[in-house]
Structure 1
Amino acid sequence: MIESHRKNFDTDNLNDLIDLWLNEIRLHKSDADGPNSFRNPDNMAGQMLLLFLGGTDPTSNTLRWGSQYLVRYPKVQDRIHREIDTVVGRNRLPKLDDKLNLPYTQAVIEELHRIISLFPLAAFHVAGDTTTFRGYTIPKNSVVISNLYAVMHSPEIWGDPEEFRPERFLDDKGNCRGTDEVIPFGIGRRMCLGEALATQELFIFFTHLLHQFKFEKTSEDAPMPTLKPIDGVVTHPEKYKLRAIKRD
């Protein structure tokens, strides 16, 4: 893709991020190869790869997890269907403007983020300077790891962290309330830059799928999903076959 952009590069028509990056390299050619410059082809290729991975893997894995949880918790799925049908109807697909009017659906997505803890240790960071935090000295250049899983599964915060209970995010009026302890995209100033895009992307895909389909086991005798994670940098669900039944 980068090579194709180079061949068709036009300074008067910068169409996307690759064009903008190529233009930065052109404008700052003198330091493009410097060891500390972001304006170099290798860095550009690496960042494009991260954008593709970050824009596909988290959303697809959350949807895989979500479909298995909905099979395991059919009453949750039924309630989502009722809410979407009431607010959106059957004649169009959900859109971002519907989000505030779909509080239970939002609560389910929040609970999915919390319970699956997709990036349990987030991205590793490095301390820019020596600092002291709660009595601990963190030397400069130390690798700092955020244990997101511990926060999103803390009994002190949630009471019953291993229970899938979307209602925990609904207030007395039935509105979805956010909480500082749901941190699937990391914390601090160096949290995931794609949070806003990923949040919107997940909402659209999730609501479109639930608007159009009902998820069930392949047969009455089929086992339920185990919901056991495959641990790694990203927690993947185990492979599971299910039925996606078209809704009227």
Structure 2
Amino acid sequence: MELSVTAVILTLTAILCLYYWNNRGRRSRLPPGPPALPLIGNSLHIDKRAPDRSLIQLGRKYGPVFTIWLGPRPAVVLCGYKAVKEALVDQADDFGARGTIPSISKVTNGYGIASSNGPRSRQLRSFAITALGHRGNGTSTLEGFVQQEAETLVEAFTKTQELPFDPTFRLTCATANIMCAVVFGCRFDHTDPKLLALLHMMDENMKVISSPWGQLYDLLPNLLDCLPGPHNRLFENANKIKSFLREMIQLHKDTHREGTPRDFIESFLAKMDEEKGNPRSEFNDENLLLSTFNIFLAGTDTTGSTMRWGLLIFLKYPEVQEKIQSEIDREIGMDRTPCMGDREKMPYTNAAIHEIQRYANIIPLNLPHTVTRDTEFRGFLIPKGMLVIPLLSSVLYDPSCWETPKSFNINHFLDERGQLKHKDAFLPFSIGNRMCIGEKVAEMQLFIFLTTLLQKFTFRSPVEPSAIDISPLSSGFSTLHHPYQLYCIPRRPARRPASE
């Protein structure tokens, strides 16, 4: 028995030495980084509940471009606005491919918008940007969907009768229904069992993927595929969500008619018909399924999470609520539903929403990239296929770009005249040719939902504002806030003095 154990150890050591020897030349010009252990890499250097903060600390020691080992594979981390912009914009062709995340790759297998590369990615992204842009430009029927859903949200909040409640479910229903409008052309009642099941699975998956179990899977996928644990729920839920999407796609196929497409699925089906004779076309059933999967899940969770952060911040800083409400009263009034045309007239509200997005830092690690060829970058050589992490948290909290990066500060986005101020480092949707394609849809939801809610309600916390903790609870794949409750007090139009 002892002999066999010794043989295994010697074999593993020989394999590791051979791997190191074969790759020593390619790694000799990699950026510096902390020493790594065999198999587990730098996992001991990284706080599983706040990996982005651990990476920022390593960046202070090793510089804005450094190497870490994610289990047995190396990755280059980019810290700060200058390094991220230089890579993703100035050298976009080199850094423009999507890096592999094992948990996501197991679900998508390289299909869909988010995980694909090469011609597949170019075709799907170009199509999706056009399809979503048509629905997100503020003049299409999508704005009507958002306004309708905002009114439904007001009704749901009114039913709480000024009692404390957790807004998570109601806000997630609202953002999910907007994504339903985008991809399916319809909405669901907030009590619909299908919608409730979807939201439960999405919430569970986000918690798992942001947990130490989810991070451990991405470090050692081959090992964890053989073990029981919460990480397996990711794939069970993903398969159920894909089954639901297949049903919706089949329903669209059964009723598909020529004419102006009503939603993303109809647009994709029309493109499939158009490209039937093209052997290089990527418009097929698998890419339709996974692209729909990408858009629906990403759009629902990120926007819903940002709104939850926004309400929490309003509870912490009631004076921010009051200033937004004053702007609403002045520019919109109490009776008309806000629209995107109001945004340019409301610089304080616009700045507050920008600062909520910056401070919330919803996707702190960003989605990884990879280099398409051996790439020279700041005096280092990054080999083709190397994973690259453009650390979004380090941009949104870059002390060289923000006066008080760790504090919520609306003045980050207001100039001396009180007008909205553009900031290059405001990149909640990332930057470059792999930035989020749903930016316009998200901006519309955030503005209309938050202004409609503050038009109708004043939000208060069951605890004093000074006791509210707005620091992150955890920041794995997504930045999660501490649980909270609020109660909403209906606002009434101010009485005008009787004319004499």
**How far apart, CA to CA, are the structure 2 residues paired with 1:184 and 1:48?**
22
**How far apart, CA to CA, are the structure 2 residues paired with 1:233 and 1:81?**
33
Cα shift at 1:22: 2.3
Which letter does structure 1 place at the counterpart of 2:284? N
Residue equivalent to 2:250: 3
Provide the secondary structure at the position in 2 that maps to 1:144.
strand
Q: Does 1:60 find its partner at 2:298?
A: no
Larger-Rg structure: 2
- Cα deviations by residue, 1:116-158 (Å, 9 ceiling, x for unpaired): 1111122222222222121122222222221110111122222
1:1-248 superposed matches below 5 A:
1-12=248-259, 14-29=261-276, 38-218=282-462, 223-248=467-492
Residue equivalent to 2:241: none
The TM-score normalised by the length of structure 2 is: 0.46
Greater shift in the superposed pair: 19-28 or 62-71? 19-28
Provide the secondary structure at the position in 1 that maps to 2:327.
helix
Q: How many residues align?
A: 245
Provide the secondary structure at the position in 2 that maps to 1:156.
coil
Cα shift at 1:81: 1.1
Provide the secondary structure at the position in 2 that maps to 1:245.
strand
**How far apart, CA to CA, are the structure 1 residues paired with 2:470 and 2:488?**
18
Cα shift at 1:221: 10
Provide the secondary structure at the position in 2 that maps to 1:157.
coil
Greater shift in the superposed pair: 19-28 or 131-140? 19-28
Residue equivalent to 2:10: none
Check 1:221–1:10 CA distance in 2 against 1; reply closer, same or farther (3 A cut).
Answer: closer
- Cα deviations by residue, 1:187-212 (Å, 9 ceiling, x for unpaired): 11211111122112211111111111
Cα shift at 1:31: 6.2
- Give the structure, 1 or 2, with the largest relative contact order (CA under 8 Å, sep 6 or more): 2
The TM-score normalised by the length of structure 1 is: 0.90
Counting helix residues as a fraction of each chain, which structure ranks higher? 2
CA contact (8 A) 1:71 1:225 kept: no
Which letter does structure 1 place at the counterpart of 2:414? L
- Cα deviations by residue, 1:204-245 (Å, 9 ceiling, x for unpaired): 111111111111112569952443333221212122111122
**How far apart, CA to CA, are the structure 1 residues paired with 2:422 and 2:370?**
29
Check 1:220–1:174 CA distance in 2 against 1; reply closer, same or farther (3 A cut).
Answer: closer
Check 1:231–1:221 CA distance in 2 against 1; reply closer, same or farther (3 A cut).
Answer: closer
Provide the secondary structure at the position in 1 that maps to 2:487.
strand
**How far apart, CA to CA, are the structure 1 residues paired with 2:291 and 2:489?**
38
Residue equivalent to 2:58: none
Cα shift at 1:93: 2.3
Residue equivalent to 2:60: none
| Aligned-pair Cα RMSD in Å | 2.2
CA contact (8 A) 2:429 2:439 kept: yes
CA contact (8 A) 2:316 2:465 kept: no
Provide the secondary structure at the position in 1 that maps to 2:400.
helix
Greater shift in the superposed pair: 169-178 or 214-223? 214-223
CA contact (8 A) 2:472 2:479 kept: no
Which letter does structure 2 place at the counterpart of 1:8? T
Which letter does structure 1 place at the counterpart of 2:345? N
- Cα deviations by residue, 1:142-182 (Å, 9 ceiling, x for unpaired): 22221110111122222321111102211111101121101
Check 1:75–1:221 CA distance in 2 against 1; reply closer, same or farther (3 A cut).
Answer: closer
- Cα deviations by residue, 1:51-79 (Å, 9 ceiling, x for unpaired): 11122211111110011111011111111
